[in-house]
A and B are shown apart, each in its own frame.
Chain A
């Protein structure tokens, strides 16, 4: 694993760490399985790319991308809350529609951002071409983490968490659970679209197909983080989600590097899955192994 490959894994991991925090918010906090992210991730990329090519600054492009993602989340929440469409189906509908909308926004299926200004530029000047992008993305992830952790500890955040834990109880306490669903989905998809906008700027292109599998990678990161860093504290759980995402990307990087073992390029997904599965099994296997040894030791002591 070369240094640049490791840095690349860190960069992609941090971007999808943002996605993982968004996914954590809907799946875990709000208990709303939201597949909109497969559409809002490329939506953020599309909006950011179209604005930058149109002459807007990279920072304002990111803000608009976040706003567009929040709108997509609001639409899913509207379908679900106003018309009682099942949450999964409501989010799938938004996700499908966003494919066409993303092509409309870009005017074509792909926009190049190779020599355009990006939010990473000041960091590249500061930390050099190798680490600059990672630094920019780490700052973005830390910022979103801090804001999100602060928000979830506020009154509004507590109401959001209550909605996810027990909606009927929350309503009895005077929480407007409909409003909370709107807020949660807007926030989650806004963060995911921000990640999409960052991906476009850092990777040099926005492509309509880039949303495929976003939810799977986001969920994998959340679960990987929960297994390796189990915690009941929300702020720690969010960090765990980001860590899970970075770890997932290191698994991909290791899989990419494994061509010496008689594997071929098409085995990439299998090897990635195997590495992640091993990481998930490890804590349990270790606990079982320890328990076994303990009981053996006890057995030896007994007459």
Chain B
């Protein structure tokens, strides 16, 4: 352990010397973290705030031990491409691309710069990483994909004896098809058999819910636009069958879901900030596995649980934010 640390310090100082002659004046300057986003909006701004907060928490204070710059493309992909070139020219220690186009522009224009992407829903389809959980040589990051693992774990915690989990979705929504495929893997690990309930339009949702409830112990509704639009119908079918309904988004808890765990963008930013800090400390981005958003935002609906005679475990209630 000691030895590897010494090696690391040695190589870091070697790299410092190698970079020295080229930028003699900037040698004393703290490392640069260049953040860029496609546009300013609440979710992306929260990510950016989370990154700065996490870097500060890890001892990287703006202006003292690190220089943090931020550029917004103000909604223009052409400007995003130009910002990426500017960042390539500034040669920062870490570049952070918030949102898919900003991260892609950086990946294409700043190939030599370590890149952390954040709030990219599908980094594999975006061409940033070769496969889920596998970083590229210079690229790692945090997606804002639905935290399926945390959601299935929550269902298992509330229903320790359940075997069959129904899922309602529209097979016409590419996003949902991908989610259900991923759910099958995750659910199998938690000991659930997944029962699919396809509904191609909102009018079909109630019937699909009834059909699935006759076979399954509980229903999970992913972030599917069709099913979420008819969430009240699913909740009603659940009450009738006295079986719980879980959701992939916390907004559905108010509409009758027993519980849901989602993520907030501040946490996505904090995760990305932690990855950036690891790169600043000398780790190679290619050695840091990319992450998904962590499910930290737990909401429960005790009234909906009581209506079907389900009592929520005390530790779930303790973690939850009140409805």
Q: A-side interface residues toward B, CB under 8 Å?
A: 2-9, 11-12, 15-16, 107-108, 110, 112-115, 129, 199, 202-205, 207, 209-210, 212-213, 217, 249, 252-253, 256-257, 259, 265-266, 268-269
Which of A108, A207, A249 lies at the interface centre, i.e. has the most chain B CB atoms within 10 A of its CB? A207
Contact indicator B76/A203 (Cβ below 8 Å): no
User: Complex Cα distance A269/B78, Å?
Assistant: 13
Known interface pairs A110-B126, A266-B40; A209-B77 also in contact (CB < 8 Å): yes
Q: How far is the CB of A108 from chain B (nearest CB, A)?
A: 6
Q: How close is B174's CB to chain A, nearest CB, in angstroms?
A: 6
A114 in contact with B127 given A4-B89, A207-B77 (CB within 8 Å): yes
Q: Which residue of B lies closest to A210 (CB)?
A: B77
B83 (CB) vs chain A CBs: closest residue:
A256
Contact status B109-A204, CB under 8 Å: yes
Query: In the complex, are the beta carbons of A110 and B100 less than 8 A apart?
Result: yes
- Contacts A4-B85, A266-B40 known; list 11 others, CB within 8 Å: A3-B89, A5-B82, A12-B85, A16-B78, A114-B127, A199-B81, A203-B77, A207-B101, A210-B78, A256-B71, A268-B71
Instruction: Tell whether, in the assembled complex, residue A8 and residue B109 are in contact, meaning their CB atoms are under 8 Å apart.
Output: yes
How many angstroms from the CA of A238 to the CA of B219 in the assembled complex?
63
A-B contact pairs, 5 of them (CB 8 A): A6-B89, A15-B78, A210-B101, A213-B76, A256-B71
Chain A residues in 8 Å Cβ range of B78: 12, 15-16, 199, 210, 217
Is B84 interfacial (CB 8 A cutoff)?
yes
Contact A253 B127 (CB under 8 A): no
CB-CB under 8 A for A266 and B74, given A114-B107, A115-B127: yes
Q: How far, in Å, is A39 (CB) from chain B's closest CB?
A: 15
Are A112 and B109 touching (Cβ within 8 A)?
no
Q: Is the CB of A204 within 8 A of B107?
A: yes
Nearest Cβ on chain A to B49's Cβ, whole angstroms: 13
Residues of B within 8 A of A249 (CB): 82
Given contacts A110-B126, A112-B127, contact A205 B108 (CB under 8 A): yes
Q: Are B101 and A205 touching (Cβ within 8 A)?
A: yes
Is B82 a contact of A114 with CB atoms below 8 Å?
A: no
| A-chain residues with CB within 8 Å of residue B111 when the two chains form the complex | 129
B contacts, CB < 8 Å to A: 40, 69-72, 74-86, 88-90, 100-101, 104-105, 107-109, 111, 125-128, 174
Nearest CB in chain B: distance from A138 CB, A: 16
Interface centre among A6, A8, A113 (most CB of B within 10 A): A8
B141 to chain A, nearest CB (A): 14
Contact among B74, B76, B82 for A8, CB-based, below 8 A:
B82
* Chain A residues near B74 (CB-CB < 8 A): 266, 268-269
Smallest CB gap from A216: residue in B: B76
Task: List residues of chain A with CB within 8 A of the CB of B89.
Answer: 2-6, 8
Distance in angstroms between the alpha carbons of A110 and B70 in the assembled complex? 24
The CA-CA distance from A115 to B129 in the complex, in Å, is 11
Query: In the complex, A252→B71 CA distance in Å?
Result: 12
Q: Which residues of B contact A16 (CB under 8 A)?
A: 78
Given A16-B78, A259-B69, A268-B79; A8-B85 close (CB under 8 Å): yes
A268 to B104, CA, bound (A): 21
Asked if B125 and A5 sit within 8 Å, CB to CB, the answer is no
Q: Say yes or no: B90 contacts A204, CB within 8 Å.
A: no
Q: Bound complex: CA of A207 vs CA of B72, how far in Å?
A: 17
Query: With A265-B72, A268-B79 given, is the CB distance from A5 to B86 under 8 Å?
Result: yes
Q: Which residue of the partner chain, among A108, A203, A257, contacts B86 with CB atoms under 8 Å? A: A257
Cα of A203 to Cα of B76 in the assembled complex, Å: 13
Quick one: given A9-B82, A112-B128, are A204 and B105 in contact (CB under 8 Å)?
Answer: yes
Interface centre among B71, B75, B83, B89 (most CB of A within 10 A): B89
Instruction: Give the CA-CA distance A257 to B89 in the complex, in Å.
Output: 11
Minimum CB distance partner of B126 in chain A: A112
- In the bound complex, do residue B108 and residue A114 qualify as a contact, i.e. CB atoms below 8 Å apart? yes
A212 and B75 form a contact (CB under 8 A): yes
Chain B hits for A2, CB < 8 A: 86, 89-90
**B79 / chain A contacts, CB cutoff of 8 Å:** 252, 268
What is the bound-complex CA distance between A77 and B208, given in angstroms? 47
Chain B residues positioned under 8 Å from A210 (CB to CB): 77-78, 101
Do the beta carbons of B104 and A265 come within 8 Å of each other?
Answer: no
Contacts of B86 in A (CB 8 A): 2, 4-5, 8, 253, 256-257
What is the distance, in angstroms, from A242's C-beta to the closest C-beta of chain B?
15
Nearest opposing residue in chain B for A118, CB measure: B108
Determine how close the nearest CB of chain B comes to the CB of A76; give it in whole angstroms: 23
> Is A113 within 8 A of B127, CB to CB?
yes
Chain B residue numbers with a CB within 8 Å of A8 are 81-82, 84-86, 88-89, 109
Tell me which residues across on chain A come within 8 A of B90, comparing CB atoms.
2, 5
* Known A16-B78, A265-B71: A110·B101 in contact at CB below 8 Å: yes
A45 to B, closest residue via Cβ: B77
Closest to B76 in A: A213
A210 and B127 CA atoms in complex are apart in Å by: 18
Docked complex Cα distance between A205 and B107 (Å):
10
Residue pair B76, A212 in contact (C-beta under 8 Å)? yes
Q: How far is the CA of A168 from the CA of B82 in the complex (A)?
A: 45
Q: How far is the CB of B59 from chain A (nearest CB, A)?
A: 24
Select A5's contact among B69, B85, B127, beta carbons within 8 Å: B85
A240 to chain B, nearest CB (A): 20
List the A residue with the shortest CB-CB distance to B39. A209
In the assembled complex, the CB of A203 is this many whole angstroms from the nearest CB of chain B, namely 4
Q: Smallest CB–CB gap between B169 and chain A, Å?
A: 17
Residues of A within 8 A of B128 (CB): 112, 114
Which chain A residues lie closer than 8 Å to B107 at the CB level?
Answer: 114, 204
Please report the C-alpha to C-alpha distance between residue A253 and residue B105 in the assembled complex, in whole angstroms.
16
From B80, which residue of chain A is reached at the shortest CB distance?
A: A203
Which residue from chain A places its CB closest to the CB of B124 in the assembled complex? A112
Shortest distance between the CB of B16 and any CB in chain A (Å): 21
